[in-house]
């Protein structure tokens, strides 16, 4: 009989709603027996699902990282499996992740957060933005299946970490709300242990609908990444994170030049048309639904502009805690 490590599934809960209840019911389908579920929240919530333990923070307002750290003293598993309250696992999530921990050099395992097929049109369009190569660049593996590899930065909506390693680095130890996973992953790799990406370690992560909810989230991502360039340069001071800001500055300069020099207008128009076509093709390749592809192509442009603004803001901040 195969011995499987005990896993503590930790869910930081923001708001108890019908969708969360429906997603929580899906955990019954996990093809893994040795696990517990801890839901961490600031206020009591009526949760009738058998086998689910609620942990109260005792505070008025805590972020996801703080909730995850509070859960550490309550969980009984040797592996902590982190997932967000707007996500649910594939039935093989734990079964596919657990064997990687047979290797002593592996501290953490992660995988993609796929767009749930039941999400509505605008949410699926938001998902297509993330899944498009032109939308997420090298981080596209976070949102669609990609080849297995070793990485040094993974999102906490699908991240499994050895409890002993997490305790050894002091937990998430952060009040960041967006980017707290960058901090904890950097602390893990600095111990000399590995973080493995496995495309079969899957969760389904509900998307923010285009356009306002989506760009608010993107601004926060850019804000933290810009700040992290100074705070955690080992993994954040990378050329790829500067590309949207560079493109935004270049495009703005081109538009101003065209306004002053009429002869430049055809060149600028061609550039805009080329980008628009590239965005549409990139979106269509991940979702051939014409409505989703068109919406996502607009979302790709909005994503880069919003990220650039947030990133520039983050670069200028002296301090950022939430």
In the chain, the domains with their CATH numbers are 7-111+154-209 (3.90.550.10), 217-316 (no CATH)
Write down the pLDDT at residue 220.
Answer: 95
| pLDDT tens column, 238-253 | 999 999 999 999 999 9
Other CB atoms within 10 Å distance of the CB of residue 15: 10
Q: To the nearest whole number, what is the mean pLDDT of the chain?
A: 93
Residue pair 311/143 in contact by the 8 Å Cβ criterion: no
- Burial label for 246, CB within 10 Å (0-12, 13-18, 19+), is exposed
pTM summary value: 0.93
| pLDDT tens column, 140-190 | 999 999 999 999 999 999 999 999 999 999 999 888 888 899 999 999 999
CA 20 to chain centre: 18
What confidence tier does 50 reach under pLDDT thresholds 50, 70, 90?
confident
| pLDDT tens column, 56-69 | 888 878 899 999 99
What integer is the mean pLDDT of 106-118? 97
Least confident of 57-61, 221-225, 231-235: 57-61
**Distance between CA atoms of residues 154 and 179, nearest Å:** 10
Residue 2 has pLDDT above 70, yes or no: no
Going edge to edge, which strands form the sheet with 52-56?
52-56, 35-41, 7-12, 79-83, 158-162, 106-110, 194-197, 149-151
What confidence tier does 1 reach under pLDDT thresholds 50, 70, 90?
very low
Residue pair 77/35 in contact by the 8 Å Cβ criterion: yes
């Amino acid at each position: 009989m195969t011995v499987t490590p005990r896993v503590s599934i930790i869910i930081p809960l923001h708001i108890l709603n019908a969708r969360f209840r429906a997603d929580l019911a899906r955990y019954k389908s996990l093809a893994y027996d040795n696990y517990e579920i801890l839901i961490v929240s600031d206020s009591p919530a009526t949760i009738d699902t058998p086998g689910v333990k609620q942990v109260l923070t005792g505070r008025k307002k805590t972020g996801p990282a703080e909730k995850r750290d509070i859960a550490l003293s309550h969980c009984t598993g040797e592996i902590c499996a982190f997932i967000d309250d707007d996500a649910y696992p594939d039935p093989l999530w734990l079964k596919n992740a657990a064997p990687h921990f047979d290797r002593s050099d592996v501290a953490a395992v992660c995988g993609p957060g796929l767009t749930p097929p039941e999400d509505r049109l605008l949410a699926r369009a938001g998902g297509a933005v993330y899944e498009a190569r032109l939308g997420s660049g090298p981080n596209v593996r976070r949102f669609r299946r990609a080849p297995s590899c070793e990485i040094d930065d993974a999102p906490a909506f699908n991240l499994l970490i050895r409890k002993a390693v997490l305790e050894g680095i002091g937990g998430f130890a952060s009040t960041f709300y967006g980017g707290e996973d960058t901090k904890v992953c950097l602390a893990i790799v600095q111990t000399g242990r590995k973080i493995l990406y496995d495309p079969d370690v899957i969760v389904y992560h509900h998307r923010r609908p285009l356009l306002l909810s989506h760009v608010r989230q993107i601004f926060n991502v850019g804000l933290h990444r810009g700040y992290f360039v100074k705070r955690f340069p080992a993994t954040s001071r990378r050329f790829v994170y500067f590309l949207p800001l560079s493109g935004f500055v270049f495009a703005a300069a081109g538009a101003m030049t065209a306004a002053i020099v009429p002869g430049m207008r055809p060149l600028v128009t061609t550039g805009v048309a080329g980008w628009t076509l590239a965005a549409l093709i990139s979106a269509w390749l991940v979702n051939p639904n014409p409505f989703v592809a068109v919406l996502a192509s607009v979302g790709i442009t909005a994503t880069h502009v919003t990220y650039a603004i947030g990133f520039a803001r983050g670069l200028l901040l002296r301090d950022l805690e939430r």
